[in-house]
Chain A
Amino acid sequence: MTQELTGTQHPPGPQAHGALPEAPSVTMADMVEPVPDTFTHEKPRDPYWYKRAVFYEVLIRGFHDSSGDGTGDIRGLIGRLDYLQWLGIDCIWLLPIYESPLRDGGYDISNFTKILPEFGDLGDFVELIDEAHDRGIRVIADLVMNHTSDQHPWFQASRSDPDGPYGDFYVWSDTDEEYRDARIIFVDTETSNWSYDPVRGQYYWHRFFAHQPDLNYDNPAVQEAMLEVLRFWLDLGIDGFRLDAVPYLFEREGTNCENLSETHDYLKRVRTEVDRLYPDRVLLAEANQWPADVVEYFGDPATGGDECHMAFHFPVMPRIFMAVRREQRYPISEIMAQTPKIPDHAQWGIFLRNHDELTLEMVTDEERDYMYTEYAKDPRMKANIGIRRRLAPLLDNDRNQLELFTALLLSLPGSPVLYYGDEIGMGDNIYLGDRDGVRTPLQWTPDRNAGFSTCDPARLYLPVIMDPIYGYQAVNVEAQQNNPGSLLHWTRKMIEIRKRHPVFGHGTFVELPASNPSVLAFVREFGDDRVLCVNNLSRFPQPVELDLRRFEGSTPIECMGGVQFPPVGELPYLLTLPGHGFYWFLLPPAPEQRMAEPPERG
């Protein structure tokens, strides 16, 4: 019965998306009942918006400071929404915004329904949602389901009153012997998944840091309490959550305590609740696992997906880096070939950089030894494991590579996630340590504190980047907005092109036979909307012959400039690409029969 409300049984057929993304989708017209009016922009609501969206990851602390205290805040972000609208992004992803002792970047939540005071308050948050929605931008936020901070009142009550209402909210044991098969995630700081609490006189279970006790999902009251947390934010208008560390919700003896069926059952319950009351919201799973395992988090394909709407595709990112370093396509081809089909309404999230490091956590199985073999042999790539760098420094600030990487991000299957500052090619500060090096203030202008804050520079939460290449006087939003040739303008243009073609979000992916191993060519196809993407992974100019016989008669149109290329014939299609160059072509359907010659010129 909930199905009728959600509309999930209507597949988005080609007819629904033949036009511009702004056009009303047929799937919405089919909706039987109205949904709560949470998206007040004049655009029609669309339960599948996330399949076409361009996401933008925002660190509130580092985005803009409205209060002059040296730390970014929600009102600062509100003041810069016009910029994000201009850039063309569809959805803001906020890192944790909740009250927290901040011992783990806010992933240690001490109150699920309060905003971290230095960011603002709930009133600011509601205003952010309203202002963002007015601009056609959605907002999702990180939410940690698996654990809380040890400062959370639930934990304090649990340890001091074992028989009270919260006594069973966490996983307690008289010994530290249970669940020995579960690996320790932070091997460098933790020696066990159990820690002793002298107040309660028992051990508590934690998959992450000792100050982050795991919630006990076997307790129905915990399951209900977390649903209540979700409803709280959804009622305020939030468009969804990135669910942090979802594989670890339940524990069972004799298992590795990851990806258990009980965990999936609970996520299905969450999804049902979201679909029932808030049908155009999105759940994005963070499961740093191999795609074949992650796909379980989309749920049952027969329903189009009944768990999380989205999940990150982690291996794509290191593979793109490796392919360009190796100057050959197989690192990418291989991972695309190993990526399973996902349910109709599910979508991958892909990224080049985010606030986390490049990780090989998911490649332990010997069948998946590619990354291990390649990275272990390569001192430079190995050095990048476990270090957080921004995109531009990783690519030696090479504009051609920055463009190629961004073009791949925007054209491979999945919804792209940009990391704040990468659109202007910001640098990092490795001397701040691996966590903070990529979290410096966004560089708005060449003025004091990069225009991020009016405070005394000494008061900034982190110093702005000041080196001669990436420093704020050279790299900032204002200068790049005024320069049509800037990376910022280029990125904006590419986002615009992507948004014009729903095929990038909905289309199938087929790699094309290409004569040159340094060239990755693929076709995205969604009904009559077809895009051919050709990428030169080498720094040297390369020719490539493509087998395009399936599109014989079509006349490729280059997406940036609209230039028509020679029509596709029976013979291999020859293209030449500059070093790290790429093309996006539309492949319009071949005319049924040759039209009469156009009128004489002049």
Chain B
Amino acid sequence: MPSHDRLEELLATWLPRQRWFAGKGREITEVSFVADARLVAGDPGLRHAIVSVRQGPPGNPDAEHYYYQLLLGFRHELPGRLEYASIGLVDGMHIYDAAHDPDLTRSLLTGMAEGADVAALRFRTVPGQRIDTDLTSLASPAEQSNTSLVYGDAYICKLFRRLTPGVNPDLEISLALSRSGSKHIPELYGWIETVLDGESTTLAMLSEYLRTATDGWRLATTSVRDLYAEADLHAYEVGGDFAGEAERLGAATATVHRELAEAFGVTSISAADVHAMAGRMLTRLDEARAAIPDLNPYVDRIAAAFDDLGKHDGPLAVQRIHGDYHLGQVMRTEVGWVLLDFEGEPARPLAARRAPAHPLRDVAGMLRSFEYAVRYLLTGPAAALFADDPAHDQREYRSHEWADRNRDAFCAGYTDAGGPDPYAHDVLLRAFEFDKAVYEVMYEARNRPSWLHVPLGSLARLTG
């Protein structure tokens, strides 16, 4: 076994190059092993490790530190197909990211199938499920903050890379909804957990792989592409109409909300809480206004919407929701829509991600996503195709038609399936939508200025 010292040095240069590494751009001052368990002995060998990464002045105990989960493979000879996963050479042993080595990843599957305990690691099968272990994995090439291993075409194992002590909300919700037999989440098969900072912490979860599925974003942009190719046809006339899908997606959303309410209960927040919530929205609006003067023309209308929310009298029913709901979190399968990733907004602390909220916050998230989908082709990489095009205004007009049509269809499906009618709760919905749009304005101004006009454009429309 190579010494940790040398390995920690290698990791300090290797970690920042990984897509899932969160603290890019700041120097790593310390990498230390928090846990290290041998999963496969021999050559190739596999060790499961958790490292603490500190970025900030050395010796300062208050400097921020994050936990990362690693699968370390060890081989004397590193085959060419694994070279791209290499971390380095220690004491004559090649060390590499074993997530890319199907010879080793199978052990995760067998561990879960057997319900094994290895050191502090607990591998578990969901009660009533059986896990087939005779499958080869492939690390998904999708760009994500986690690493996903696809086993055959049966399972997908989500390996959380940056760890937050505590049970992952995605696992918590998937377990509860599996128990109630939900048809709108991928079936859950198993998970891996350990104890970190004294708390039971989720390391990985194994779910059904939706082999023929597509995410909602791709499907919606397929529809928009068709719309823009036919500038003289209304959104309801073009072949690629999305309204049927939007309606079914609304229905699936309402069903999952009901299942979440049944599994985790419904509580209520007081009028004072609602007032405080509106106050926080106003604070965010003020911050955004100060940073982005382009927001000014819309501020009064937005503030009025938040004020309306603040006048809400009486309690508001709240429950567990998705929390980070948009077209990229839903998959169209051959039997309908499936919702993914109940982790909440990744940037928020765990407690806030698990906090109950009003289900229309999810609805607002999806409606915002429609606004993005319809503008992507006019803004994204293909925008050059449409630049200086005399039909630009026409497309702009069509994009509003598309957004309105699918918004109506989604809300109709949501209401028909038993959700609270978004149009009957327009004060709430509008406040959630504006709050999200304000967040988007901040985000785009900081990260993608060329996209800033997307939230600004839809604010112009929604406040008009």
| Interchain CB contact (< 8 A) of B335 among A324, A327, A334 | A334
Are A327 and B222 in contact, CB atoms less than 8 angstroms apart?
yes
Taking the closest CB of chain A, its distance from the CB of B184, in whole angstroms, is: 15
Interface-side segment among A176-184, A265-273, A512-520, A556-564: A512-520
With A327-B226, A540-B225 as given contacts, are A517 and B335 in contact (CB-CB < 8 Å)? no
Residues of A within 8 A of B243 (CB): 377
The reply to whether A379 and B236 form a contact with Cβ atoms under 8 Å apart is: yes
Asked whether A373 lies within 8 Å of B138 as measured between CB atoms, the reply is: no
* Binary contact readout A359-375 vs B (1 if CB under 8 angstroms, 0 otherwise): 00000000000100110
B237 partner, pick from A324, A380, A516, beta carbons under 8 A: A380
Interface status of A337 (Cβ within 8 A of chain B): yes
* A547 contact set on B, CB distance < 8 A: 153, 211
How many Å lie between the Cα of A538 and that of B236 in the bound state? 18
Q: Does the CB pair B241–A328 fall under 8 Å? A: no
In the complex, B141 has a CB within 8 A of chain A: yes
Q: Which of A324, A374, A379, A513 contacts B212 (CB 8 A)?
A: A513
Any A CB within 8 A of the CB of B2: no
Looking at the assembled complex, report how far the CB atom of A567 sits from the nearest CB atom of chain B, in whole angstroms.
15
| Complex Cα–Cα for A326 and B153 (A) | 27
Does residue A378 face the partner (Cβ distance < 8 Å to B)?
A: yes
Q: Which residues of A contact B248 (CB under 8 A)?
A: 373
Residues in B with CB closer than 8 Å to A518 are 222
Name the CB-closest residue of B to A336.
B334
B141, B153, B239, B244 pick with most chain A CB within 10 angstroms: B244
Whether A377 contacts B236 by the Cβ 8 Å rule is: yes
Is B332 interfacial (CB-CB < 8 Å)?
Answer: yes
CB distance from B252 to the nearest CB of A (A): 13
Question: Per a CB cutoff under 8 Å, which of B141, B237, B247, B334 touches A334?
Answer: B334
A330: CB under 8 A from chain B?
yes
Residues of chain B within 8 A of A337, CB atoms compared: 334-335
Q: Are B332 and A330 in touch, CB under 8 angstroms?
A: yes
In the bound complex, how far is the Cα of B332 from the Cα of A517, in angstroms? 9
- Please, how many angstroms separate the alpha-carbon atoms of A334 and B222 in the complex? 18
Q: Is A451 an interface residue (CB 8 A)?
A: no
A324 to B239, CA, bound (A): 8
Is B165 among interface residues, defined by CB-CB distance under 8 A? no
Interface string of B217-231 (1 = CB under 8 A from A): 011001101100100
CB of B214 closer than 8 Å to a CB of A? yes
A511 at the interface (CB under 8 A from B): yes
Query: Is B201's beta carbon under 8 Å from chain A?
Result: no
* CB of A572, distance to nearest CB on chain B (Å): 7
B279 is an interface residue with CB less than 8 A from chain A: no
Q: Are A333 and B138 in contact, with the CB atoms below 8 A? A: no
Q: How many residues of A contact B (CB 8 A)?
A: 34
Q: For A369, give the chain B residue with the smallest CB separation.
A: B248
Asked if A379 contacts B237 (CB within 8 A), the reply is: yes
**How near does chain A come to B412, taking the closest CB pair, in angstroms?**
11
Pick from B138, B225, B229: contact of A570, CB under 8 Å: B138
Contact status A330-B153, CB under 8 Å = no
Partner of A377, one of B229, B241, B334: B241
Cα distance A327–B224 when bound, in Å? 11
Collect the chain A residues with CB atoms within 8 Å of residue B178's CB.
Answer: none
Expressed in whole angstroms, the Cα–Cα distance for A598 and B226 within the complex equals 48
B56 CB–A CB distance under 8 Å? no
Question: Is B141 a contact of A517 with CB atoms below 8 Å?
Answer: no
**In the assembled complex, which residues on chain A have CB atoms less than 8 Å from the CB atom of B218?**
516-517
Give the contacting residue for A538; candidates B141, B211, B222, B335; CB below 8 A: B222
Size of chain B's interface in residues, with CB distance under 8 A?
27
Task: Say yes or no: is A549 at the interface (Cβ < 8 Å to chain B).
Answer: yes
User: Is A325 an interface residue when CB atoms closer than 8 A count as contact?
Assistant: yes
B82 to chain A, nearest CB (A): 12
In the complex, whether B240 has a CB less than 8 A from a CB of chain A is: yes
CA–CA, A197 and B343, complex, Å: 72
Query: Does chain A have a CB within 8 A of B145?
Result: no
- Rounded to whole angstroms, the CA-CA distance of A379 and B239 in the bound complex is 10
Q: How far is the CB of A176 from chain B (nearest CB, A)?
A: 39
A204 to B243, CA, bound (A): 47
Are the C-beta atoms of B136 and A325 separated by less than 8 Å? Answer: no
- Which of A326, A512, A516 has the most B CB atoms < 10 Å from its CB? A326
Interface 0/1 of B307-328, CB less than 8 Å to A: 0000000000000000000000
**With contact pairs A380-B237, A516-B218, A549-B138 given, residues A330 and B247 touching in the complex (Cβ less than 8 Å):** no
CB distance from B393 to the nearest CB of A (A): 23
A373-B244, A517-B214 given; A325·B239 CB < 8 A: yes
Q: What residue in chain A is nearest B225 (Cβ atoms)?
A: A540
Per-residue 0/1 for A197-213: is the Cβ within 8 Å of any B Cβ (1 yes, 0 no)? 00000000000000000
Asked if B334 contacts A327 (CB within 8 A), the reply is no
A328 contacts which chain B residues (CB < 8 A)? 214, 219, 222-223, 240
B219 and A549: CB pair below 8 A? no
A344 CB, nearest partner CB in chain B, Å = 24
Highest count of chain B CB atoms <10 Å: which of A513, A539, A549: A513
User: Which residues of chain B have C-beta atoms less than 8 A from A513's C-beta?
Assistant: 153, 211-212
Q: How far is the CB of B132 from chain A (nearest CB, A)?
A: 15
Note all chain B residues with C-beta closer than 8 A to A325. Answer: 239-240
Query: Which of B136, B219, B229, B244 interacts with A517 by CB under 8 Å?
Result: B219
Kindly identify which residue among B229, B237, B240 contacts A326, using a CB–CB cutoff of 8 Å. Answer: B240
**Docked CA distance A378–B291 (Å):** 45
Instruction: Render A493-533 as a binary contact track against B, CB cut-off 8 A, 1 for contact.
Output: 00000000000000000011111111000000000000000
One digit per residue, 1 when the CB lies within 8 angstroms of any chain A CB and 0 when it does not, for chain B 401-421 equals 000000000000000000000
Nearest Cβ on chain B to A143's Cβ, whole angstroms: 36
Q: Which residues of B contact A334 (CB under 8 A)?
A: 334-335
Measured between beta carbons, the chain A residues less than 8 angstroms from B138 are 549, 570
Most A C-beta atoms less than 10 A away, residue of B141, B214, B229: B214
Q: How far is the CB of A241 from chain B (nearest CB, A)?
A: 34
Q: CA of A374 to CA of B332 in the docked complex: distance in angstroms?
A: 16
Chain B's nearest CB lies how many Å from the CB of A544?
11
Complex CA distance for A337 and B335, rounded to whole angstroms: 7
Provide the bound-state CA to CA distance between A132 and B248, in Å: 51
Closest to A375 in B: B244
Please name all residues of chain B whose beta carbon is closer than 8 Å to the beta carbon of A549 when the two chains form the complex. 136, 138
- Most B CB contacts (10 A, CB to CB) among A330, A336, A549, A571 go to A330
A517: which B residues are within 8 A, CB to CB? 214, 218-219, 222, 332
Q: How far is the CB of A50 from chain B (nearest CB, A)?
A: 28
CA distance A222 to B172 in the complex (A): 65
**B139 smallest CB distance to A (angstroms):** 11
Q: Within the complex, what minimum Cβ distance (angstroms) separates B428 from chain A? A: 28
State which residues 31-58 of B face A: CB under 8 Å: none
Within 8 A of B (CB), among A311-346: 324-328, 330, 333-334, 336-337
Contact of B244 among A374, A516, A538 (CB under 8 A): A374
Tell me the nearest residue of chain B to A379, going by C-beta. Answer: B237
**Nearest Cβ on chain A to B272's Cβ, whole angstroms:** 43
How far is A330 from B241 in the complex, measured between Cα atoms in Å?
A: 13
Set of chain A residues within 8 Å of B226, measured between Cβ atoms = 327, 538
B349 to chain A, nearest CB (A): 34
Question: How does the 8 Å CB contact mask read for B54-83 relative to A, with 1 for contact and 0 for none?
Answer: 000000000000000000000000000100
Partner of A327, one of B212, B214, B240: B240
Taking the closest CB of chain B, its distance from the CB of A289, in whole angstroms, is: 20
Q: Which residues of A contact B81 (CB under 8 A)?
A: 570
Q: How far is the CA of A182 from the CA of B81 in the complex (A)?
A: 66
A333 touches B212 (CB 8 A): yes
Q: Please, could you name 9 A-B residue pairs with CB atoms under 8 Å apart, sorted by A?
A: A325-B239, A327-B222, A328-B240, A330-B334, A337-B335, A380-B237, A516-B218, A547-B153, A547-B211
Give the top 9 A-B pairs by smallest Cβ distance, nearest first: A325-B239, A517-B214, A333-B334, A337-B334, A513-B211, A374-B244, A373-B244, A334-B334, A511-B212
Q: A336-B334, A380-B237, A380-B239 are in contact. List 5 more A-B contacts (CB 8 A).
A: A328-B219, A333-B212, A337-B334, A379-B236, A513-B153
Binding site for A on B (CB under 8 A): 81, 136, 138, 141, 153, 211-212, 214, 218-219, 222-223, 225-226, 229, 236-237, 239-241, 243-244, 247-248, 332, 334-335
